[in-house]
Structures are given as structure tokens and as C-alpha cells.
Amino acid sequence: MSFSLQSLLSFSGIFKQMKSKIRRGKTNFLQRRCLALPEELCCRFSLAEIKAATNNFHKDMVIAKGDSGFIYGGMINDGFFAIKRLRPSTNSLLPLQELKCGARMLCQLHHSNIVSLVGWCEEKGEMIHVYEYVSSGTLYDHLHGKDSDPLPWKRMLEICIGVARALHYLHTGARFVVIHRDVTSSSRNILLDGQWTAKLYNFGFSKRGPHSMMTNRPSHKADVYSFGVVLFEVLCCRRVFDATLNGDQRHLNRWACKCIENGTIYDIIDPYLKGRIASEYFKKFVEIAYSCVSFDVNKRPAMGEVEVTLELALERQNKADSKMECSSSR
């Protein structure tokens, strides 16, 4: 069968029109998907259930206050949950998009070191997320709270490993790459459950990254840098920024890096940890933290490497402690 040149030109024009319609249709479809209710991924709660759980958003039920809204504790169907009531916005569509798109993304993240989104509610202008309740507070509170006892070094290592596992999963193991973009203790985004398992929280600033990490895009390395700062914070038990100090000492990462380069890092670590960390594994911990905050993005390790290094440090620390206990008992 043959076609005339006129037929081909005619078909070409029709095809261009079809492609244009497909592109417009795809955009509209994505918008509809973004606003579609993710009921197949997590539970949708009624506003009546939320009000019953929070005693109509009573102030006595508030367990935390964040930049984006209040968090209440409440019982729903015999389970205790953290209920985040998002702040309203002057743009009525934007928070709704954020709620539903955020819910759709979070419902697809399943990891033991990430706070699970159980469900959500969007009704009568209310935008609400319902999360699993994490009972032992935040890493920040345990590091800097006045009434908190110092945590054992091995427990701190386990907490750091938990956060590293969560980030490794987000960067390479989830259905799509997620850049958290707010890995800090000061934002209280690292929570601890009843077994002291670290749980990464608050994906308000997160972005979806490339489907493959085999690209030149360094965005996920921002999470690596932030995690390196957390490692220094854990090691030194100092705030990331302290205005009462002078010069580079105000910025923990700058001061820690300078001390590493001068060979004096041991002098600024948490006094409680001195003598409790095997020297060989202390050096390994410092090296991986230092590489994470490298100014050269390409020299920062992947989170998988960070995770393995910390796990090895914990394993060797356990062996060193066992030898010490055997020697003491003898």
C-alpha cells in the first residue's frame, strides 16, 4: 500500500495536533492525580474522628508545635497516634495540593527508620496528617535537654545508624528517589521510639530526585552533608550553632573540621564519651563525618557507605567492650 506526499503531510499535521493534545491531557491528568485521594495507599479519616481523638483540638492534647502546625496526641480505633493539623494558607489550593501530594508520597515510603504516615483528613478546610506515635522524644532533646541523662555511646551509634539507613533507603531503595533536605536535630526531625530506634520525620521540604543515582546531579549529597553535621553534634554534644562562642567555634562543623585537621578533635568531644570509645573506631567515626561535610560535593560518600562504616564501628565497639568485660571479670 502506498501513500501520496499530500497524504503524508496531512497525517503529519494531524499527528502534531494529537501530540499537543496528549501533552495537555498529560498535564491535566497529573494535576488530577496530584489532587486525587490516596485512599488506596493510606487511611482517610473523617473530621469527626479527628475531633473525637483530639477532644476538638483541645490545647491539653497538644504534644508538639512545629512551623507548619500543631501536633496532637489522640486515640483512634484503640490506637494512639500523632495528629498534625496543618496551618491554613491564604492560597486555598496550595495546602490542599501539598497535603494530598505529600500524603501520596509518604504513603509509599515504608521503612522501620521513617515515621509512618497512617492516614489523613481533608474536610471543611482542615488539612490533617495522622502519623504513628513515637514515644521517646527527639534526638535534639536528648542531646541538649537540661533534664536528659547522657545516652551511652553504643546507643548513640545505633541512632546514627538508623538515620543513615533511612537516608540510604530514600536515596536508593524507595520506589523513587527522595531528597529529605532537612536532616537536622534542631528541627526535631529525628525522633526516638520506645526501643530507642531512630525515626526520620518531617518531609515538608523533601523533593523527588532522579530515578537513578548514576547522574551528575548532586542534590542527594546535601542530605549527606547534613547528616555529617549530625554526627559531629552527637560526638561533641554541642549545638550546630552557638552564638555565645567566638569565631569558627560558633559553627560546629567548621570548628570540628579545623580540629580534625589540627589533630585536636579529641579535645572537643563530649567529656562523657572520653574513655568510652575505642580509639580505632573513634577515628573511623571521625573520618566518615569529615568526609560527609567535604566542601567538594563529589568527595562526599554515598549514604550506603556511611551506613556500612557506622555499622562496622558499632560491631568493633561491641567486640572491644566484650573483651574489656572479660578482662574485668577475670
Catalytic residues: 182
* Of residues 308, 108, 116, the one with CA closest to residue 193: 116
The upper half-sphere exposure of residue 22, i.e. CA atoms within 13 Å in the direction of its Cβ, equals 6
Edge-to-edge, what's the strand order for the sheet holding 126-132? Answer: 43-44, 117-123, 126-132, 79-86, 69-76, 62-66
∠ CA 119-121-123, nearest 5°, is 165
Q: What is the largest CA-CA distance in the chain?
A: 98
| Torsion 318-323-328-330 (CA) sign | positive
* 3-state SS, residue 293: coil
Q: Which three cell numbers stand for residue 236?
A: 561533641
Q: Which three cell numbers stand for residue 172?
A: 536508593
The upper half-sphere exposure of residue 126, i.e. CA atoms within 13 Å in the direction of its Cβ, equals 21
